[in-house]
Amino acid sequence: MNRTELKILIVAVIISITGILSIYSNTYCKEGEIWSIIYKRQIIWTALGIAVYLFISRVNYRKFWDLTYVLYFLALLLLFIVFISGVVRLGAQRWIRLAWFNFQPSEVVKLVIVVFLARYFSRKSADDMSLKVNRYGMFKALILPFVFVAVPTFFIIEQPDLGSGVIVICIFMAMLFLANVKLKYIAFFLVLSLLVLPVGWGMLRDYQKERLLVFLNPGIDPLGAGYTIIQSKIAVGSGGLLGKGWLAGTQNQLHFLPESHTDFIFAVFSEERGVLGALLLLALYFFLIQQALSIASRTSDTFGKLLASGIGLVLTIQVFINVAMNMGMAPVVGLPLPLMSYGGSSVIVTYAALGMLVNINKHRAVF
Amino acid sequence: MRIKLVGLICVFIFLFLAAGLLNLGVIHYGKYRELSEKNCIRLIPQPGSRGKIISSEGSCLADNYLAYDIMLLPQDHDLLKRSLKSLAAVLNIGLEEINARYKAGYISPSMPVTIMKNVNSRRAIAVEEAKSGINGVVIQPAPLRSYPYGSTAAHVIGYLAEIDHWRLTKLADYGYKTKDKVGFGGIEEKYDYYLKQEDGGLSVEVDRRGKIVRVIGFKPPQSGKNIQLTIELKLQQLVEESLDGRNGCVVIMNPYSGGILAMANGLDFDPGAFLDTASRDEVKKIVTDKNALLLNRSIKGLYPPGSIFKCIVATAALESGKMSPSTKFFCQGGLTVGNNEFACWEKHGEEDLIQAIAHSCDVYFYKTGLLIGPQAIHDYAEKFGLAKPTTIELPYEAGGFIPSPLWKRLYRFKSWFDGDTANMSIGQGDVLVTPLQMARMMSVFANHGKLVRPFIVKAIDGQDVSNYHRDSIELPFKESTVDVVRRGLRDVVTDTQGTARILAALSVPVAGKTGTAEVSGKLSHGWFVGFFPYQTPRFVICVFLENGGSGQVATGLAKEIIEKMTRENMI
């Protein structure tokens, strides 16, 4: 185990432990069997995550080059299963029920899209370091990859999981940028997205529209989504500089916060640990992301470069949207905070991504 | 290159988040600390009122009345104890009871707890007066559904009840939630989306004592839209009174527009019973009654039309050109078709078409049916709108059924025999219709050849929508055909041997057809379908009595209704 591998693992585990403590604090006084085991489950997830991390960091990441299409179609298949079971059950469906847990394919899709685009924009040959994208026209640089991204995105938004759908589109644009796609194409895509926005608005479900509108003015729905935003802001704000202390966050203990062990875990944490604690937490995330980007810039293989920076970006986007949402600076879209939020799929996928990262770092010298 | 830029963007993103943190936790720390310390946000939901259902002339068939819920805001322990004690005294309930209710109703510290539901205004005023002495009491006006006319037009209106699983799965995307009250059957169900109110509410900041300091957010509740029907309340009541609990139904319709003026079932129920948990036994009785009290027979009941069907056979015969009004057949009280003997109910002798209609001669129509064939009858029945729903705006309308040789071959694996044709010619066999379809069919003769589309909603939220329904179909019949059948229908009443001659005594000239549909093992169904006044019809009436005995009984009921209408100056 080299130093980078160890550093990343330690930081990730610290974040996970913080998350488990927050989940414990959030659930320990809720009544009911389910709540009392939730933090234990998160511990199991984290342990499994670490195992996945250690495993993947020992698998040559070039294997993922070969497996790209397998992974892609596997992810599509999973999404399709969710879609079908959603149709059958006539309602929202984000999970596949496995024996003892609910598996959430949209988490996996985020990582698979990064792998897919990293391969799409790079070359197999390790000798030719130049990105071929410079010679690409509009179709190959923009339209074709977009089609590949749009299919899973459609299924995700249809679930309906607007948050993950938006994330995937963000990842797509970020990867275009990283892959040196001509800026005019990216600008074209952005303009096109803005033009399509009014149409997309019409396709949203009522509650999704409401959430977006509520973000602009929490006052219009004081009992629903607006209430969540207000309570979350109070939780973060009332923590002050030093926080109220572990198990002492009143907002959280008295159940003012809905969804607090998943999407609003950051508010729970910062209420109890204050601004300083939260800043420290953000610093840890920042460290992970910087590691990813520096590994990317040190790697000469284009696939590894794109993959590493892509992983860094996925983390950045998720942390940004989730934390901003907790502070009332982004709409409530139902998105986990990586490593912190309760949920096995998210934890394991994040550890897997970090594992890949470490492996890229190991092999960069080989090429 | 771009990676460096991305790194820079990441730095900015984290600085942005840090700034947000400092803004909330340091700059505005005081404000949020205060808000959190006092846990001082309370949510007070404010229910809106469901849209009314109004009759044609403006009486409220489904209305709302104000009841009050007494609620208590969660507050600190000692204060709560005192508040509960004084509230118990005002509401006149025991201390233990009120404590139990508080505990049972508690949801979260931000939501007021309902202590007592549906309090009348006198009690609410008593609480209001004592309010200054009780901390955090909320008197919440809650509009509740009421049906001022009880069971009048119950089947048209429908009723309200808690949403069931099946409806929830279909309606969840439209913002329906568990425990919502939704319409079941009738207008309440079909127009639920319009009638449905939107609940609003307040989020308020309260001080340490639980007194409201200021309002943080407000969403005004929105009332549902009112639905005005074409039903005329007086006529509806008159009809229901005449039906007097008999198993059957009456439809009265405007023959030109298709507007339903009255739609009554003898067996009815009180929609108000479903609103109150106290009347659960009554609801159980309504739902389990073996006479199907909830069934709107006018649109959901499928019955053989009996002799009423002869109007269609006569039209088919004249239109096909195979017969003329003067075609005569001889009735000797029965006819042998194949190996079976088909009886007529009397020996009519030689008759022409008009006489055959007037006397409802079965043999004449056996012979007519055999002459023109089953497919022609089937096709003409479809032209009259049978075998499919009329698309009236009431849920779960039945379509009915008209047999044909092809159908019998495909689904029964049998050949079509002449006996089937004979049966079909007098509206027996597999022919099934709804009373509303019969009224619609009769309106073709009343209005000289137009097939109207029955409708019952006149206006939504004051906007007249009846125009949308006025897409009647001009049936391509010869004028003479309609006139001949029409004359026959008039003779049913005026002829000395006409089957509805008891109507001749009325001051209004009526035309129509009686029908007796045989049911194996039970009393026959009785039909009377007609229109009046004969020259310029303003009403089409369909009277149907399930196992009522015969068409004569139905005709008697029609007579009673028309007599009353005359007396009330409605005609």
- From the list A219, A237, A329, which residue is nearest B29 (CB)? A237
The letter for the amino acid at B3 is I
User: Does A133 or B141 have the greater pLDDT score?
Assistant: B141
Would you state the torsion angle of the CA atoms of residues B73, B75, B79, B85, taken in this order, to the nearest 10 degrees? 40
What is the predicted pLDDT for the residue at A34?
66
Give B2's contacts in chain A (Cβ within 8 Å): 177-178, 180
In a mutational test of the B interface, the residue from A85, A238, A251, A255 whose CB has the highest number of chain B CBs within 10 Å is A238
A111-125, A282-296, B26-40, B83-97 — most confident range: A282-296
For residue B154, the number of C-alpha atoms closer than 13 Å in the C-beta half-sphere is 22
Counted across chains A and B, CB pairs separated by less than 8 A come out at 146
State residue B336 phi and psi, 5-degree precision: -95, 120
Whether residues B238 and B219 share a domain: the answer is: no
Give A234's contacts in chain B (Cβ within 8 Å): 32, 35-36, 41
- Of chain B residues 176-215, which have a CB less than 8 A from chain A? 201-203
The CA distance from B347 to B330, in Å, is 9
| Cα distances (Å, whole numbers) of residue B441 to A195, B59, B365, B382, B386 | 54, 30, 18, 10, 8
Tell me whether residues A293 and B7 touch, CB distance under 8 A.
Answer: yes
Does residue B217 have a pLDDT over 50?
A: yes
pLDDT band at A276 (very low <50, low <70, confident <90, very high): very high
Whether residues B320 and B444 share a domain: the answer is: yes
Whether residues B122 and B180 share a domain: the answer is: yes
- In this predicted structure, which of A32-36, A160-164, A265-269 has the lowest mean pLDDT? A32-36
Q: Per-residue pLDDT averaged across A164-192, rounded? A: 86
Tell me whether residues A282 and B21 touch, CB distance under 8 A.
Answer: yes
A179-193, A238-252, B383-397 — most confident range: B383-397
Q: Nearest C-alpha of chain A: how many angstroms from B20?
A: 7
Domain boundary among B178, B208, B229: B229
> Mind spelling out the 3-state secondary structure of B223-278?
CCCCEEECCCHHHHHHHHHHHCCCCEEEEEECCCCCEEEEEEECCCCCHHHHCCHH
Closest CA to A317 of A213, A169, A120, A176: A169
Sequence-ordered strand ranges (E) for B309-355: 329-331, 334-337, 340-343, 349-351
Q: Per-residue pLDDT averaged across B429-456, rounded? A: 94
For residue B9, the number of C-alpha atoms closer than 13 Å in the C-beta half-sphere is 16
Give A360's contacts in chain B (Cβ within 8 Å): none
Whether residues B330 and B435 share a domain: the answer is: yes
- Check CB contact of A236 with chain B, cutoff 8 Å: yes
* 3-state SS, residue B458: strand
Tell me whether residues B20 and A285 touch, CB distance under 8 A.
Answer: no
Q: Contact at 8 Å (CB) between B425 and B377? A: yes
- From the list A227, A233, A316, which residue is nearest B203 (CB)? A227
Q: Residue B341: beta bridge partners? A: B336
The CA distance from B551 to B493, in Å, is 13
Give A297's contacts in chain B (Cβ within 8 Å): 3-4
Which tens digits make up the pLDDT trace of B114-125? 888 888 888 888
Tell me whether residues B2 and A178 touch, CB distance under 8 A.
Answer: yes
What is the predicted pLDDT for the residue at B16?
93
Does residue A126 have a pLDDT over 60?
A: no
Which tens digits make up the pLDDT trace of B318-350? 999 999 999 999 999 899 998 889 989 889 999
| Cα distances (Å, whole numbers) of residue B151 to A138, A190, A263, B65, B192 | 69, 61, 51, 17, 20
The CA distance from B5 to B335, in Å, is 99
What is the predicted pLDDT for the residue at A90?
44
Give A316's contacts in chain B (Cβ within 8 Å): 10, 13
User: Does A262 or B107 have the greater pLDDT score?
Assistant: A262
Does residue A281 have a pLDDT over 90?
A: yes
What is the predicted pLDDT for the residue at A290?
93
User: What domain range is B345 assigned to?
Assistant: 233-458+469-567
Asked if residue B35 belongs to a domain, the reply is: no
Does residue B302 have a pLDDT over 90?
A: yes
Whether residues B217 and B303 share a domain: the answer is: no
| Cα distances (Å, whole numbers) of residue B513 to A351, B351, B457 | 82, 17, 28
The answer, yes or no, to whether the previous bond of B220 is cis (omega within 30 of 0) is: no
Asked if residue B422 belongs to a domain, the reply is: yes
**What CATH number is associated with residue B124?**
3.90.1310.10
Tell me whether residues B6 and A323 touch, CB distance under 8 A.
Answer: no
The CA distance from A332 to A212, in Å, is 7
Give B109's contacts in chain A (Cβ within 8 Å): 254-256
B538: DSSP letter:
-
In a mutational test of the B interface, the residue from A234, A299, A313, A320 whose CB has the highest number of chain B CBs within 10 Å is A234
Asked if residue B11 belongs to a domain, the reply is: no
Does residue B179 have a pLDDT over 60?
A: yes
Does residue A8 have a pLDDT over 90?
A: yes
**Tokens linked to A237:** 């704000």
Whether residues B243 and B225 share a domain: the answer is: no
**Burial level of A30, CB count in 10 A (0-12/13-18/19+)?**
middle
Helix, strand, coil distribution of chain A in percent, nearest 5: 75, 0, 25
Q: Nearest C-alpha of chain A: how many angstroms from B141?
A: 18
Mean pLDDT of chain B: 89
Q: Contact at 8 Å (CB) between B557 and B545? A: yes
pLDDT band at A207 (very low <50, low <70, confident <90, very high): low
Asked if residue B257 belongs to a domain, the reply is: yes
- In this predicted structure, which of A106-120, B204-218, B552-566 has the lowest mean pLDDT? B204-218
Asked if residue B3 belongs to a domain, the reply is: no
Whether residues B318 and B417 share a domain: the answer is: yes
- Check CB contact of A231 with chain B, cutoff 8 Å: yes
What is the predicted pLDDT for the residue at A201?
75
Does residue B186 have a pLDDT over 60?
A: yes
CA angle B403, B405, B409 (to 5 degrees): 105
- From the list A221, A254, A286, which residue is nearest B109 (CB)? A254
Q: What is the pTM of this model?
A: 0.65
> Mind spelling out the 3-state secondary structure of B297-312?
HHHHCCECCHHHHHHH
The CA distance from A197 to B146, in Å, is 45
Does residue B240 have a pLDDT over 90?
A: yes
ipTM (interface pTM): 0.88
Q: Nearest C-alpha of chain A: how many angstroms from B73?
A: 15
pLDDT band at A254 (very low <50, low <70, confident <90, very high): low
Domain boundary among B229, B255, B277: B229
Per the document, the length of chain B is 571
Whether residues B369 and B444 share a domain: the answer is: yes
Whether residues B274 and B206 share a domain: the answer is: no
Asked if residue B276 belongs to a domain, the reply is: yes
Q: Per-residue pLDDT averaged across A322-331, rounded? A: 88
Whether residues B424 and B316 share a domain: the answer is: yes
Whether residues B208 and B314 share a domain: the answer is: no
The CA distance from A265 to A340, in Å, is 7
- Of chain A residues 299-338, which have a CB less than 8 A from chain B? 305, 309, 312-313, 316, 319-320, 323-324, 327, 329
Give B175's contacts in chain A (Cβ within 8 Å): 206-207
What is the predicted pLDDT for the residue at A260?
74
What is the predicted pLDDT for the residue at B379?
95
Share above pLDDT 90 across residues of chain B, in percent, rounded to a whole number: 58
Q: Per-residue pLDDT averaged across B135-144, rounded? A: 82
Whether residues B84 and B168 share a domain: the answer is: yes
Tell me whether residues B28 and A237 touch, CB distance under 8 A.
Answer: yes
Which residue on chain B is closest to A160 by alpha carbon?
B173
What is the predicted pLDDT for the residue at B441?
96
* Domains contained in chain B, number: 2
**What CATH number is associated with residue B371?**
3.40.710.10
Asked if residue B389 belongs to a domain, the reply is: yes
- In this predicted structure, which of A353-367, B249-263, B283-297, B556-570 has the lowest mean pLDDT? A353-367
Share above pLDDT 70 across residues of chain B, in percent, rounded to a whole number: 96
Closest CA to B283 of B295, B297, B269: B269
Domain boundary among B169, B199, B229: B229
Please, which residues have CB within 8 angstroms of residue B569's CB and are 6 or more apart in sequence? none
Asked if residue B127 belongs to a domain, the reply is: yes
Q: Contact at 8 Å (CB) between B103 and B95? A: no
Tell me whether residues A286 and B14 touch, CB distance under 8 A.
Answer: yes
What is the predicted pLDDT for the residue at A73?
92
B53-54 and B227-229 beta bridge pairing: parallel
Exposure string (b/e) for A64-86, b if CB count within 10 Å is 16 or more?
bbeebeebbeebbebbeebbeeb
Closest CA to A140 of A151, A129, A148: A148
Q: Per-residue pLDDT averaged across B388-402, rounded? A: 93
Per the document, the length of chain A is 367
- Check CB contact of A178 with chain B, cutoff 8 Å: yes
What is the predicted pLDDT for the residue at A237?
87
Does residue A356 have a pLDDT over 90?
A: yes
- Of chain B residues 18-47, which have a CB less than 8 A from chain A? 18, 20-22, 24-26, 28-29, 31-33, 35-37, 39, 41, 43, 45
Q: Contact at 8 Å (CB) between B179 and B162? A: yes
- Check CB contact of B468 with chain A, cutoff 8 Å: no
